[in-house]
Structure 1
Amino acid sequence: MAETKIEPKMEPKSVAEAKSAEAKPADIKAAKPKAPAAPAAELDLPVAMRDIAEKSVAQAKEAYEKIKSAAEETTDMIEDTYVTASKGISDFNVKALEAMRANINASFDFTRAVMQVKTLSQAVELTSSHIRKQFEALIDQTRELTELAQKIAADTAEPVKAGVEKVVKPAA
């Protein structure tokens, strides 16, 4: 014989209970009572706080503009310094190469002259004359290169000096 299973009989639910049981979690959240909306007057900030906030924003904008301006000026100063230094170094290198070329040409001229010497006294005289001329040339070349290096240093430092003076004078 087959056994029959008897399930307990459930009590019928009321219509409200049935709807509540079928409700989804999203429906439950939607069904929660909402807080009453605050009147618009209560959400407005007091006038004093609004003024403080507006002043703070204005001060922040002003500080940003000052920082931006200072950064642009600093960038310009660095660019000017770099351009001046680059041009100065280029000029210095050209002058040094000219001096080197003159010294090499003098050495070749001396070598040619020594090859044509017939006596020891002519060789001594030629050598002493060459050494004296080269020493004088070296002094002149050193003086010119030193003056040029000093000019380059002064010209390169000028934009930095002007920038520092511009910052220091308003602070004083």
Structure 2
Amino acid sequence: MAKDPMSSFEIPADMRRIAETSVAQAKQAFEGFMTAAQQAVSRMESQTAAAHAGATDASRKAMTFASQNMAASFAFAQKLAQARDVEEVMRLQADFLRSQMQTFAAQAQELGTSFTQTAADASRRE
């Protein structure tokens, strides 16, 4: 039986190095964006009234989730950049997708609970 040509394909070290540099630069740019976004959210939060506490909590959670998801994505990209063959790339991709689906489900549940609590609190204030 013929060997799968893709299983013996090795990603050149120079290509991996370029990919790693690109991932590092993108991560650095994203971290700068997240810092600016978090500062903007903090400024906005300082101007909101106590009645918006639930929305503030939700926005903080959303920012935290976005940051966590991007960190996971950059870690995944770094692993991909270091992959030595297509088989490793496929395994990393499957593991990442499985992990992210579980993470997204947990995050959605947490946000849903937060929104429900905010709505309940708002209805009690009325």
TM-score range, shorter chain: 0.5 to 0.7
Corresponding residue number in structure 2 for 1:166: none
| Separation in structure 2 between the aligned mates of residue 134 and residue 108 of structure 1, nearest angstrom | 13
Structure 1 segment 133-152 matched on structure 2, within 5 A: 133-152=99-118
Structure 1 segment 17-36 matched on structure 2, within 5 A: none
Taking structure 1 as the reference length, the TM-score comes to 0.44
Unmatched runs of 5 consecutive residues or more in structure 2: 1-47
* Larger Rg over CA atoms: 1
Instruction: Report the Cα offset of residue 159 of structure 1.
Output: 1.8
Taking structure 2 as the reference length, the TM-score comes to 0.60
Q: Give yes or no for the alignment of 1:128 onto 2:94.
A: yes
Corresponding residue number in structure 2 for 1:116: 82
Instruction: Report the Cα offset of residue 88 of structure 1.
Output: 0.7
| Separation in structure 1 between the aligned mates of residue 51 and residue 68 of structure 2, nearest angstrom | 26
| Separation in structure 1 between the aligned mates of residue 123 and residue 117 of structure 2, nearest angstrom | 10
Aligned pairs, number: 79
| Separation in structure 2 between the aligned mates of residue 86 and residue 95 of structure 1, nearest angstrom | 14
| Separation in structure 1 between the aligned mates of residue 51 and residue 94 of structure 2, nearest angstrom | 40
| Separation in structure 2 between the aligned mates of residue 87 and residue 106 of structure 1, nearest angstrom | 28
Corresponding residue number in structure 2 for 1:54: none
RMSD after superposition: 1.4
Instruction: Report the Cα offset of residue 144 of structure 1.
Output: 0.2
Task: Name the aligned partner's letter for residue 55 of structure 2.
Answer: I
Please give the per-residue CA displacement for 1:47-73, whole angstroms capped at 9, x wherever unaligned.
xxxxxxxxxxxxxxxxxxxxxxxxxxx
Please give the per-residue CA displacement for 1:21-56, whole angstroms capped at 9, x wherever unaligned.
xxxxxxxxxxxxxxxxxxxxxxxxxxxxxxxxxxxx
| Separation in structure 2 between the aligned mates of residue 105 and residue 142 of structure 1, nearest angstrom | 18
Structure number with higher helix proportion: 2
Instruction: Report the Cα offset of residue 151 of structure 1.
Output: 0.1
Instruction: Report the Cα offset of residue 83 of structure 1.
Output: 4.9
Greater length-normalized contact order (CA 8 Å, ≥ 6 residues apart): 2
